[in-house]
Structure 1
Amino acid sequence: MRHAFARCALAVVLGSSAVVATPWLAAAVENRPPDQPARADLRTGDAPCASGADRAYVRRAPVLSATLRDPDPVPPPSRARLTAEFEVSWQDAAGERQVRSGRTGPSYIDRPVTWTAPEDVPAATEVSWRVRAFDGTAWGPWSSDGATGGCAFVVDKERPARPTVSSAQYPDDGKWHDGVGVRGTFEAASASPDTAKYVYTFMGDTPETVVPERLGGPVRFSRLPERSGPTSVTVEAVDRAGNRSEEATYRFRVDEGSKPVAHWKLADPAGSTEASAEVGGRPAAAGGGVTFGAEGPARTAVDRATELDGSAGAYLSSGAPAVDTGKAFSVSAWVRPDEAGRAMAAVSQDGTGTAAYRLGTDGDGAWSFALGGPGGTVVRAKGGTPESGEWAHLTGVYDAGAKTAALYVNGRRVDSVEDAPAPAGSGAAQVGRALGAAGQGANWDGRIADVRAWSRVVVSEEAAKLAGREAVRTGHWRFDEAAGRTSPEQGGGQPMRLGGDALIRHDDQACDPLDPECGPGNPPIVGEGELVLDGAGDFAATDGPAVATDDSFSLAAHVRIDPAAENRTMTLLSLPGENTGLATLRYTPERRAWELTLAHEDRAGAETTTLRADGARRGVPQHLAVVYDDGADEVLLYVDGSVRARAPFHHMWRATGGLQAGRAPVADGWGEFLTGAVDDVHAFAGAVSEQEVSAMAVEG
């Protein structure tokens, strides 16, 4: 009985083990064929599976791909168990069906498998293809079985015809045509009926693509020239297979941008009752809140301005429109608000119940260019921060062809709005006020100068030029000579006083031949001499401020750090206040970097902003420059003529101390003394350009 029971129990256990341990064997017995490849999982090259009119067009025999699937579970770890068979077919010239096929190796389920069609598939002939899967036991259905249908492609190796190009606004006739800021329409057409798109390059800019409304049809594209001179647009026709035509080059001549159609300088003598018209022939009559003869923006050709007191009488009006607002137009002005916290209009033009356009300040503390749309809607481009008592240049631009409104502040585009409708406004141009629901208002409180209007788009380069403020040199110390422990400023301004053991070393100066800082092997960085500092209390400084730091300013100098200098922080230039340094340009040994630190206020322990440029070198002359652009509220750090760091900065204040070379104010007096040489120090009122910095850098 025990033996019989044991045999029975063993049979039960073995039977149970078989059921639990061999599900794959059971599945193998019940094998099902692979799934039919789904049409969505098939691709002809980069194109999805399609047939008929939607078939793919390719330049050569394509790579066909399919994702295969199997309804049966797959035993791990191997998932590579499906083989694909691809088949292509076509009818030859005799009407005979030609078939080519090929199989792939085992593929991973749910991953694309590829096969390249044979090279003997004919061109200009529809080729059908299909695919099926094999799991080692059974073949699945073809992808074309049932109502699914096959995929198809046509090999097209023929280039489309070179297109023709024309333009009514800018004909290819060797004559000059208007002009910068005036949009033109160009038409391209190809004789090839299979042209699917055109690729054009306008005046050397980035290539653009435009698709015709119908296959083989022409296209039109609109572009706006941003520079004058002989130029061209190149166009290629591209067919469905991606074949490109020969390039067509269309040459035309772009004239300079047309002059303003209205211009009031607002530089009339004190006591005037109207602003004379430089252009347009209509003077602007002044209200009772207008005073002529104020000072204009510094470092510009606009030397005079008009003062408006913000009252209802603070306006000037010509009594006629300045521009046709239904077409492209631009308007600009120099403005200085005395109140920055409310909405004020510098320039506008009356529309129907509201201003057609309004250039000025917005109620939320930003510069604004607003367009009055239909039904009282307003489209507004805005940006930048007005500051009481500070001049800024504003340019508002409406591009009717592109339907965009853009605002430039101090020559930089700060905002652009798409889908801007043309404002309707045939009323009078206004300076210092704008029409609103309650009548004329938003009167300007402050100064306005040089108001201009154009019947075209003012482009970016023009906006920057209009806003240009010349950088004026306020100091230049070459350190070629010294008298009475001072080195003169080249223009006769305040000299630099030499402190400690600082000295001016000349190229021909006799010295210890073992001194690495002397001798013909280490000449002055620039010119005939340089300032040499020993790091032990040496410096050079002006007695008073070299620049007014509450406006744009620039500093630059050549420096060579002594290669034997201690591994410590050393200052090249600094601008001290009463309690801390406003700006300190220093060498930091931790990263061998140049750092510019700016204090947010004249207070010990004040918050700071730091810019860093790696690559400081000891023993090698380098050129450093600091540029503060008050209009852009931005600081830039240059090394050897290139911008290496930039940061926004909105906390500038007036430094009262003299310009320091070789030291910086620290908690207990002066410190961070430089060991090395300093040469050719420049100071400017205004932000110098990158080209000007590069020119100073190569002087060494």
Structure 2
Amino acid sequence: MSSSQRRVSSWLVAAVVVGLGPALVAGPAAATSDVGASPVGSGGVAPLVLAAPPGVSSADYPADGVAHGGAGVAGSFTFTPGSPDVVKYVHGFAGSPNPLTTVTVPAGASYTVTLTPPSYGLNVLEVYTVDSTGRRSDTAHYSFIVDAPSSSVAHWPLDTFDGHYLKDVVGGGSLTVDGTARWTYDTRWIGEATPAFDGATQFSAPAPAVDTGASYSVSAWVRLADADPSDPDPDLPTRNETAVGISGGSRSAFHLGYRMVKGEPRWAFALPAEDTGSSTTWTVASSATALTVADIGIWTHLAGSYDAATGETVLYVNGVQAGRKIRRTAAWPAAGPVTIGAAWVATANGTSRRGQTWIGQLTDVRVWNRVLTLDDLWGTESDPATGIPEVAGILAPVEVADWDFNGQLYLGCGAVWSSSYWASTLELTGCTEPYSAEQSAGYILAGPDDNEALWLNHAADGYGTDPAEPGYAVTAAGPVVPTDQSVSISAWVRPAAVDGAEQVVLREGPLSLSRSAGGQWRFSVSAGGLAVASSDTPAVAGSWVHLSGVFDTATHEARLYVDGVRQAAVGTNAVGAVSVEPLYVGAESPTSGHFAGDLDQIVVFAGALSDREAHNLYTGS
């Protein structure tokens, strides 16, 4: 079953519409349509015989088994009545969390509507009708395939990878700096920098990247700074701050960033009704809960999407729909530049100026000329039956280190280079050249991939029978990832024994992947308290197992995956911390927690693996 099919089937729930018979409801909020619904069996109402379902057709998205259009691209759909006295059509996409839409028509009339399919691959539009007597029809399920999402029309990575800096890697050209560009290292990736904004600097592109009078989307990674560094305690801003906007004549057409909503700080995507200084009407999709000082210094992904066909205005925070509003005013095209780190705002005297300046860091700014979908954010599986390839989401974590050990058996005890962009090195302690009884670290040709693996603190191939010191490995240049942000670490592990004191597989700063004294695999985050995720079943001596530990700042969770499966025990209230310690492999420290067994394919990510990504890491390794 494809991921699209799973999305569809997981949302189809049976219900009984009072006095009207059974219905298929899309999502938990579907009963807000004006037909109304009640839980199955409530009231003891016997279902009536249903009328014939409506017809559904689309020239833009025909039901022909071939991919058309694209994710986030609107198309026209026509509904035709199954009986002559139809007066209402009720429709919605299976799997959507949004309410069903009800439209009233003259008796027996067809209805054409412009809709934006919510996902890449298989989509199902569900439609039923209600006649003049209140009798509803059976539900029509219109299945069609949507082509891959188009790339963004502008993308400013705003980092020092490959000399990106201010470049637009899609359209070419570079941003203009108004003020002083300052770059701060090691907050998102170790060894790389992102721009820091002090409230007096903004970046701008020479022309608008999209038509804000049509559908569009925008996203950025943002990191709030302390609003008052002179105060020992961290402080949230008490004013609006805009991460990204596009300037009109009097004001920006949208503001993506931080906003005071009814006196409380929220993430927000705000659209003014018109390009005038006197306009006081706004459409604001904002996060449901207020921010706290715990959000200061944490990288957060914001995305705003506007659908011109429906007026739907959506804010996503870390890939989750956090706010949704319907815009009731017409969209208007902004002719000015894209602004990063500030907005164009109207003043009380009728003039306009730069304002709502950002204090903190910004990176990875993207703009699309279409609606954003969850598939853009999270990616999607391939579907060979429909020819749909796998697509990675823009929230996919970045691999910062990868040690496979292939070929190391013939290279001796020297440093092991990571195959990632950063090429970090591991240095072994306890390895001797030539191999001997005194050594406690080395390589064997017995990995899970039938290539070399690292062995530690047990006899292997006749060596290590009389070790002189504990064996472990450590990164030569310090930490490989900021441990106050989301992090994922993984390895293939084969323990020599499963009893005795805790043995550590991987540790950097407050993050630790280990085998507990009780014999369970566990992943812990120990800053600001202890959050622990543990395996459903005990470790097994002598057997290879794939482990992934995930620290997720968006959910404040510590998660553990064993052979790609999320374990039931999840650590909550997890808080990271900045650390200057190196990554230890096979030890908690040089003098404690030494692991006895074999390790292979050690991978470290900046960012939190999703369930799908953790499973794919296991199956693809």
Cα distance in 2, alignment partners of residues 562 and 261 from structure 1: 53
From 67, 74, 83, the equivalent of 1:183 is 74
Match of 1:615 in 2: 537
SS in 1 for 2:533: strand
Contact 1:350/1:425 (8 A) holds in 2: no
Q: What letter is aligned with 1:332?
A: S
Q: How does 1:372-451 map to 2 (within 5 A)?
A: 372-373=272-273, 376-378=280-282, 379-382=284-287, 393-409=301-317, 412-413=319-320, 415-422=322-329, 425-427=332-334, 428-431=336-339, 432-434=341-343, 435-438=345-348, 439-440=352-353, 441-445=355-359, 451=365
Contact 2:266/2:286 (8 A) holds in 1: no
Cα distance in 2, alignment partners of residues 294 and 671 from structure 1: 34
1:256 shift after superposition? 5.2
Q: What letter is aligned with 1:496?
A: L
1:595 shift after superposition? 2.3
Change (3 A) 1:397 1:254: same
Q: What letter is aligned with 1:678?
A: D
SS in 2 for 1:461: helix
SS in 1 for 2:304: strand
Match of 2:440 in 1: 502
Change (3 A) 1:326 1:573: same
Q: What letter is aligned with 1:587?
A: R
Asked whether 1:583 is paired with 2:511, we answer: yes
Q: What letter is aligned with 1:650?
A: V
Consecutive unaligned residues in structure 2, runs of 5 or more: 1-15, 23-43, 161-165, 228-235, 379-392, 432-437, 460-466
Contact 1:530/1:679 (8 A) holds in 2: yes
Cα distance in 2, alignment partners of residues 275 and 479 from structure 1: 38
Deviations 1:155-201 (A, max 9, x none): 986x7445322347546799986543233453322342476987878
Contact 1:525/1:679 (8 A) holds in 2: no
Q: What letter is aligned with 1:609?
A: A
Contact 1:478/1:679 (8 A) holds in 2: no
From 551, 558, 567, the equivalent of 2:492 is 558
Contact 1:404/1:418 (8 A) holds in 2: yes
Deviations 1:393-443 (A, max 9, x none): 532212344444323345x13512334444765553451322044542122
Consecutive unaligned residues in structure 1, runs of 5 or more: 1-45, 49-55, 60-113, 115-151, 269-273, 508-522, 602-606
Match of 1:344 in 2: 241
1:682 shift after superposition? 0.5
Change (3 A) 1:664 1:390: closer
Q: How does 1:431-510 map to 2 (within 5 A)?
A: 431=339, 432-434=341-343, 435-438=345-348, 439-440=352-353, 441-445=355-359, 451-464=365-378, 465-468=393-396, 470-477=398-405, 481=409, 488=416, 493-498=425-430, 502=440, 504=442, 506=444
Change (3 A) 1:586 1:219: same
Contact 1:58/1:241 (8 A) holds in 2: no
Question: How many residue pairs align between the two structures?
Answer: 511
Change (3 A) 1:369 1:632: farther
1:392 shift after superposition? 5.5
Cα distance in 2, alignment partners of residues 608 and 231 from structure 1: 42
Q: What letter is aligned with 2:544?
A: P
Match of 1:328 in 2: 215
Deviations 1:205-248 (A, max 9, x none): 79997767478665666642234568665656688899976x86
Cα distance in 2, alignment partners of residues 317 and 487 from structure 1: 44
Match of 1:549 in 2: 482
SS in 1 for 2:575: coil
SS in 2 for 1:611: strand
Change (3 A) 1:218 1:208: farther
Cα distance in 2, alignment partners of residues 213 and 424 from structure 1: 25
Contact 1:200/1:208 (8 A) holds in 2: no
Change (3 A) 1:231 1:389: closer
Asked whether 1:659 is paired with 2:547, we answer: no
Contact 1:599/1:608 (8 A) holds in 2: yes
SS in 2 for 1:615: strand
Contact 2:125/2:143 (8 A) holds in 1: yes
1:561 shift after superposition? 3.9
Cα distance in 1, alignment partners of residues 48 and 198 from structure 2: 74
Change (3 A) 1:315 1:325: same
Cα distance in 2, alignment partners of residues 263 and 501 from structure 1: 51
1:654 shift after superposition? 1.4
Contact 2:474/2:583 (8 A) holds in 1: yes
Change (3 A) 1:632 1:168: same
SS in 2 for 1:462: helix
Contact 2:429/2:473 (8 A) holds in 1: yes
Match of 2:28 in 1: none
Q: What letter is aligned with 2:482?
A: T
Match of 1:598 in 2: 525
Q: Over aligned residue pairs, what C-alpha RMSD do you find?
A: 5.3
Match of 1:640 in 2: 563
Cα distance in 2, alignment partners of residues 290 and 182 from structure 1: 38
Q: What letter is aligned with 1:398?
A: Y
1:673 shift after superposition? 4.7
SS in 1 for 2:607: coil
Q: What letter is aligned with 2:245?
A: S
Change (3 A) 1:296 1:381: farther
Change (3 A) 1:339 1:275: farther
1:680 shift after superposition? 0.5
1:573 shift after superposition? 1.9
From 345, 358, 361, the equivalent of 2:258 is 361
Asked whether 1:165 is paired with 2:56, we answer: yes
Higher relative contact order, structure no. (Cα contacts within 8 Å, ≥ 6 residues apart): 2
1:334 shift after superposition? 5.2
1:307 shift after superposition? 6.7
1:659 shift after superposition? 0.7
1:572 shift after superposition? 3.2
Cα distance in 1, alignment partners of residues 482 and 258 from structure 2: 25
Asked whether 1:570 is paired with 2:457, we answer: no
SS in 1 for 2:560: strand
More moved, 440-449 vs 676-685: 440-449
Asked whether 1:682 is paired with 2:602, we answer: yes
Deviations 1:252-294 (A, max 9, x none): 66455566566777799xxxxx998965x9997653x154999
1:684 shift after superposition? 2.1
Cα distance in 1, alignment partners of residues 584 and 186 from structure 2: 28
Q: What letter is aligned with 2:271?
A: L
Change (3 A) 1:369 1:648: farther
Cα distance in 2, alignment partners of residues 276 and 197 from structure 1: 48
Contact 2:20/2:136 (8 A) holds in 1: no
Q: What letter is aligned with 1:344?
A: E
Cα distance in 2, alignment partners of residues 416 and 559 from structure 1: 42
Q: What letter is aligned with 1:347?
A: V
Match of 2:548 in 1: 625
1:448 shift after superposition? 5.2
Contact 1:526/1:679 (8 A) holds in 2: no
Q: What letter is aligned with 1:559?
A: V
Cα distance in 1, alignment partners of residues 613 and 145 from structure 2: 31
Change (3 A) 1:360 1:198: closer
Cα distance in 2, alignment partners of residues 390 and 226 from structure 1: 29
Asked whether 1:316 is paired with 2:210, we answer: no
Q: What letter is aligned with 2:315?
A: L
1:624 shift after superposition? 1.3
TM-score w.r.t. length of structure 2? 0.63
Match of 1:103 in 2: none
Cα distance in 2, alignment partners of residues 331 and 248 from structure 1: 34
Cα distance in 1, alignment partners of residues 99 and 159 from structure 2: 46
Cα distance in 1, alignment partners of residues 153 and 415 from structure 2: 53
Q: What letter is aligned with 2:280?
A: G
